[in-house]
Structure 1
Amino acid sequence: MERAGDVSHVLYVHFGEGAHERYEELLTLLTDITPVVQALPPDAALADVRGALRYFGRDAAGLARLVRLRALALHGTDCTVGVAAGPLLARMAAHAGAPGTVREVRPEQAADFLDRRPVAALHGVGPATARTLCSYGLDSVGRLAATPLATLQRILGATQGRRLHERARGVDRTTVTPTAPARSTAAEHRFPHDELDPDRRRRALLTLADELGFRMRAEHQVARGLSLTVRYADRSATTRTRTLPEPTAHTPALARAAYALHDALGLQRARVRGVALRAEELTAAELATRQLSFDVREEKARRAEAAADRARDRFGAYAVRPAGAELPAGGAEWPDDGPDEGVRAA
């Protein structure tokens, strides 16, 4: 087992509900403890606390509990913290811990911890890779670690096979690299009850994409990426990010990316409490390039969007909404007889 250090010194902090609204303030809370903080928007961060252990007179787990206490006291946000000797194990420890707890995996516990984890819990193993590995009987990290490298490379390819072979054995070559979060903007929708209907979730995503698009267009900005966070009834959450084909603030393009992220999760009968979208890597619209389109429908959609924005500026944000979007809480639903990407006046 290769170790990143003799003692635990890396925290993976996953902030709880509402973190996207005060994400920068929560990062400041971490930088008050250590300057080595790597932002993982929309609701997580890595922190290397080696230099803070002696100053605070606490071990890494003690600093993790201090982070939780300050997040609750100052921002009303609980968090789940994984503590380990490297980013890989710290991240997995947080995901394995109950919401609102501190879970530490010491270096001497790493082999046993990894051996018993399902292969899908290994960072870097997505749903498709997990299905491929399970089809070969490699359903746990322990079995993956025991598989010869050559076999994994035949199954997954040379680069990914070597990477997962190392990670399954606890070899973590990553470090905490201090980064500030790229400029971003987010919107969240909470369902009145645990939502099982994927169509209702897609309608909520259309509403959020429309809200983000309108907000960015008003500020003459475009996004280079989009993140989807799905919160479940058990208070756990899943976040996925996708780079957009081109920087955009166009609502239909944002909605298509949101649908693709949602569908890729394969939620089926998951009990969903809420969904959130975050437009990542915002940049000035005049600095971004856009592929010219000869599709008449695309140009008409953009002209209609510009007209809808003018109506909103004059009559309010809900004067015009996409067909199929959700109204604010308490409002009646739109008729479901139009295309998702159309525009309908309220």
Structure 2
Amino acid sequence: MAEQRHVLRVHFHGADESGAERYEELLGVLHQITPRVQALPPTDADCDVTGARQFFGRDAVGLGHLVRLRAAALFGALATVGSAPNRSLAAMACAAAPPGGIVHLDPADVEGLLRPRPVAALPGVGPVAVRELSRLGLRTVGALADTPVGTLQRILGRAQGRLVHDRSRGFDPRPVTAEAPARTVAEEHGFPRDELDPARHQRAVRTVVEQVAWRLRTEQQVAGRLELTVRYADGSTTTRARTLAEPTAHAPVLARAAYGIYDSLGLQRARVRGVHLRAGQLIPAERAPVQGSFDRAAEGARALEEVADRARARWGPGIIRPARLG
């Protein structure tokens, strides 16, 4: 029989206000206990302490107390901890804990905790999806768990419906991955000579959008902000940024934002030598709210994107491009 997993979700209060360096120091507290730490910047982290329990001679709750004690003693930081058999449940336990406290969720208690909770308490379910589910009478996690997965997929889309159905039943197989997420993702497209044609400028913008979106999805991250830099023939540059309505790695959404930035620059007569796109405010895709688009065209575009991603993973990122980039 496989050993029961033990995962801690740790929230460091004020880490987002103290800067990236303090957040990295607080992550060091967790690395002193287990190497299996997944950063969830700017304030959280998940730790798999399954193996650490025997080494320290403490159960998961005892290790959670150790994290809180060391964070306070070394850095004066307040840490709230949730302990559970998987990452989604640990996040819910952490959300239910008082500031600086710890809540442990035993496997036998999972159903009792989940079923009466409102849908909005389920990690990854955003307000648009909550409103639509509530409109259909699905207001509690228990109601979601009792709904056939196919029904949820028709409401929320294939991937989102499956995710919500699994998490409503306390199932979350995601491992704690130790790799640190990238802080930004950036791509650049240069022209061989001064380019005055706005249509070619926009094609270059779409090219870098596709590259950035592909990298985000490959790294399982979503971006909340785009920054477009245009480099001119004389070496000067102009940079403008836009915050997105919600974090995403969906290329059409990123493209609309990038085109909006481009249009704001008024480059109809500019001699352009290159465009550079940077995606920032990255968070793990798992932490982005699940929003049902309720738009068949949008769902179809996302399904095609999944197929294209599988092709790129097998044959390389250049194998598929939008027709308009031909």
Is the pair's TM-score, using the shorter chain for normalization, greater than 0.5? Answer: yes
Counterpart CA distance in 1 for 2:45 and 2:104 is: 16
Q: 1:297 to 1:121 in 2, by over 3 A?
A: same
Partners of 2:36 and 2:142 in 1: CA distance: 32
Aligned length: 215
What is the Cα deviation at residue 44 of structure 1?
0.5
Do 1:53 and 1:59's aligned partners in 2 also have CA atoms closer than 8 Å? yes
> Could you tell me the TM-score, scaled by structure 2's length?
0.58
Q: Is the 8 A contact 1:5 1:85 kept in 2?
A: no
Contact 1:8 1:60 in 2 (8 A): no
Structure number with the higher helix fraction is 2
Q: Which runs of 5+ in 2 are unaligned?
A: 185-211, 214-220, 231-236, 248-257, 269-326
Contact in 1 for aligned 2:39/2:45 (Cα 8 Å): yes
* Alignment-mate amino acid for residue 257 of structure 1: T
Confirm or deny: 8 A CA contact 1:114 1:142 kept in the other structure.
yes
CA distance in 1, matches of 2:137, 2:76: 44
Q: Does 1:36 align with 2:36?
A: yes
C-alpha distance 159-182 of structure 1, shift in aligned 2 (>3 A): closer
Equivalent residue for 2:141?
141
2:13 maps to what in 1? 16
Kindly state the Cα deviation for residue 241 of structure 1 after the two structures are TM-superposed.
Answer: 6.5
Deviations 1:85-108 (A, max 9, x none): 110100111112211110110111
- Residue 297 and residue 134 in structure 1: after superposition, are their counterparts in 2 closer, same or farther (change >3 A)? same
Query: Residues 155 and 161 of structure 1 are in contact (CA less than 8 Å); yes or no, is this contact kept in structure 2?
Result: yes
Give the Cα–Cα distance (whole angstroms) in 1 for the partners of residues 159 and 28 of structure 2: 36
- Tell me the TM-score normalized by structure 1: 0.55
3-state DSSP of counterpart to 2:51: helix
User: How far 1:150 moved relative to its partner?
Assistant: 2.4
Q: Aligned partners of 2:238 and 2:103: how far apart in 1?
A: 40
Kindly state the Cα deviation for residue 294 of structure 1 after the two structures are TM-superposed.
7.1
The one of 242, 262, 281 equivalent to 2:223 is 242
Could you say what the CA RMSD is over the residues aligned between the two structures, in angstroms? 3.3
Identity across aligned pairs (percent)? 48
**What is the distance in 1 between the residues matched to 2:153 and 2:263?**
44
Following the alignment from structure 1 to structure 2, what is the Cα–Cα distance between the partners of residues 84 and 296? 50
Q: Where in structure 1 are there 5+ consecutive unaligned residues?
A: 185-223, 226-239, 265-289, 300-346
Instruction: Report 1:249-264 matches (<5 A).
Output: 253-254=240-241, 256-257=242-243, 260=245
Which digits, 9 at most, give the CA deviation of each residue in 1:119-142, with x for residues without a partner?
011112011111111111111101
Q: How far apart, in 2, do the equivalents of 1:161 and 1:99 lie?
A: 32
Aligned residue for 2:39, secondary structure, equals: strand
The 2-side partners of 1:89 and 1:251 are apart by: 45
Distance between the aligned counterparts of 1:248 and 1:121, measured in 2?
A: 39
